[in-house]
């Protein structure tokens, strides 16, 4: 059987949603903080709103707009913004500036999906594994320590002065991020595969010649429908259900 | 007892000579290649010449001169240059272009000093550990896999478009490398320590406000004499004999 990822020497991973469960982890932390102050609320919705602010900001900046280049700063500004709304006034009244800074760091302590850590350890034996995330370097380093993610190295959009796109309309600036990582690995694009739970990320990576691995994750890619591999009439190279499955597939390369 | 490295959250490591034994590893590979072709030679001197070419090139480029930004390309050009000399003609006649490419990759397969791997695993429990090397990213990734060096992330001068200095005359461009790494860790310089077997590297790091850890390594810093800590009248913050000793020191922080 021919390999579906011939010549692939490195995997570049989207992180938020693909490797870690941002929605579950942020909701849990908000619940904890709410309980601490005796406040009830729809913490799932708070988490979703926070994430939506991030998506809107990175999309705008990837298309040439102005805004913070560090996701830490961006998350902090969005948090401030959410807390000004009448809906979250009770929480806002309780949170000092320092408490907000601490809450903001929840994005550094996201938990991996159950297959993430064992799968990455297996994959690391086969190929180079690295992040390719919009998260800033320090956020990704802290998260790796927290969730035991054994990256060979961390590539962040921050290193390349842009963000990955959040739409399939690829701006030229977006290409810097994918091609920056590929260049620093001394590889051609076809020898790297992007791994993501978001089909727009994979389409952008394919646009610069990279291979693509899709992994469906709960709550991600809402409304996209089933993503299929090329062998099944779709447009990504491989679809897997876990990183462990991907490791088995590459071990057979 | 007060800590000699108060507030240090990250260690940035010089790599060639400090973490890995380049001279021993390159000499061993040259001996192997020589034996394969029935050629004898002073392989230690060959290794030293190869390294000297690298030092001259990075120094020149750090001071604003032209030259390759990837150490892989630089090492390959220097190898070609050495093999044109009459002294190494016998070897040159035997080595195809492909064999030279393979030999050049010996710099990706350098062995750690005996304390490097166990010491880094211990240090990783205490603080962030990262490279800050003139080696290119791919070289450092391959070396980490080869020698089992569990970096949290890899910073390479290549990411910042310059090189670390090889003299204590700091060019402005050199500062980009130190301050680039510090910035991406979201730290102030005094919360990062540079770890090196070369006092010029530490003096440059101290020049931007970083803390400094000196580790004497066989064959490195020839002619420098004994380096002492500030407590003993010298100019570095800490002198250790092994990474394991440094881990014990930080565990007591």
Rounded percentage of chain A residues whose pLDDT exceeds 90:
82
What is the reported pLDDT for B174? Answer: 57
Cα separation, B100 vs A95, in Å, equals 62
Cβ-Cβ contacts under 8 Å for B155 (sequence gap 6 or more): B12, B130, B131, B132, B133, B180, B181, B184
Q: Is A153 on the interface with B (CB under 8 A)?
A: yes
How much of chain B is in helix, strand and coil states, percent to nearest 5? 50, 10, 35
Task: Tell whether the model's pLDDT for residue B1 goes beyond 50.
Answer: no
Q: For chain A, what percentages of helix, strand and coil (3-state, to nearest 5) are there? A: 50, 10, 35
Chain A residues in contact with B70 by the CB 8 A cut-off are: 186
Contact B137 A184 (CB under 8 A): yes
Looking at residue B169, its pLDDT comes to 55
**Across A58-72, A131-145, A224-238, least confident range:** A58-72
B149 — pLDDT class (breaks 50, 70, 90) = very high
B133 touching A (Cβ < 8 Å): no
CB B15 within 8 A of CB B96: no
- Nearest CB among B138, B150, B184 relative to A159 is that of B184
pLDDT digits (tens, 9 = 90+) for A111-130: 999 999 999 999 999 999 99
Joined tokens for residue B133: 């090397």
pLDDT band at A173 (very low <50, low <70, confident <90, very high): low
3-state DSSP assignment of residue A31: helix
Tell me the average pLDDT of chain A.
Answer: 93
Least confident of A32-36, B62-66, B69-73, B172-176: B172-176
Report the half-sphere exposure of B81 (CA within 13 A, side-chain side): 13
Please tell me the least confidently modeled range out of A98-107, A172-181, A222-231, B166-175: B166-175
Residue with more model confidence, B76 or A252: B76
Choose the closest CB to A153 out of B141, B186, B187. B141
Q: pLDDT confidence of A47, banded at 50, 70, 90?
A: very high
Beta strands in chain B (DSSP E): 10-13, 128-133, 153-156, 192-196, 211-214, 238-239
Measure CA of the first residue to CA of the last residue in chain A; give whole Å: 10
Q: Rg (Cα) of chain B, in Å, rounded?
A: 18
Report the pLDDT value the prediction gives residue A174, as an integer from 0 to 100. 57
Q: Is B153 within 8 Å of chain A by CB? A: yes
Residue B152: which of A70, A136, A145 has the nearest Cβ? A145
Residues B39 and B34: their CA atoms lie apart, in Å, by: 5
- A contact residues 57-96, partner B, Cβ 8 Å cutoff: 70, 72
The pTM score is: 0.94
DSSP-assigned beta bridge partners for residue A171? none
Instruction: Give how far Cα A53 sits from Cα of A16, A80, B97, B137, Å.
Output: 14, 11, 53, 33
- pLDDT of residue B233 exceeding 50: yes
What is the tens place of the pLDDT at every residue in B193-208?
Answer: 999 999 999 999 999 9
Mean pLDDT of B94-119: 97
Given a cut of 70, whether residue B89 has pLDDT beyond it is yes
Q: Give me the mean pLDDT over the A50-74 stretch.
A: 88
Q: What is the mean pLDDT of residues A230-244?
A: 97
**pLDDT for B215-226, tens place per residue?**
999 999 988 999
pLDDT-derived band at A135 (thresholds 50, 70, 90) equals very high
Residue with tokens 């002619």: B223
């Amino acid at each position: 059987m021919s390999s579906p990822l011939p010549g692939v020497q490195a995997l570049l991973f989207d992180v938020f949603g693909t490797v870690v469960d941002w929605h579950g982890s942020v909701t849990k932390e908000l619940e904890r903080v709410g309980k601490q102050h005796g406040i009830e609320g729809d913490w799932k919705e708070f988490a979703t709103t926070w994430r939506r602010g991030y998506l809107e900001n990175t999309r705008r900046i990837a298309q040439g707009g102005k805004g913070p280049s560090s996701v830490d700063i961006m998350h902090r500004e969005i948090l401030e913004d959410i807390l000004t709304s009448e809906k979250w006034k009770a929480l806002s009244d309780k949170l000092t500036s320092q408490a907000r800074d601490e809450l903001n760091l929840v994005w550094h302590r996201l938990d991996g999906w159950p297959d993430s850590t064992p799968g990455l350890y297996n994959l690391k034996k086969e190929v180079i594994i690295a992040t390719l995330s919009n998260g800033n370097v320090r956020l990704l380093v802290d998260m790796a320590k927290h969730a035991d993610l054994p990256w060979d190295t961390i590539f962040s959009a921050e290193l390349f002065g842009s963000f990955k796109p959040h739409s399939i309309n690829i701006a030229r600036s977006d290409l810097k991020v994918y091609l920056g990582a590929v260049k620093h690995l001394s590889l051609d694009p076809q020898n790297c595969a992007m791994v993501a739970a978001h089909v727009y990320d994979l389409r952008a990576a394919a646009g610069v010649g990279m291979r693509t691995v899709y992994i469906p994750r709960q709550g991600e890619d809402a409304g996209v429908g089933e993503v299929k591999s090329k062998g099944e009439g779709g447009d990504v190279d491989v679809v897997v259900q876990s990183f462990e499955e991907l490791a088995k597939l590459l071990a057979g390369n």
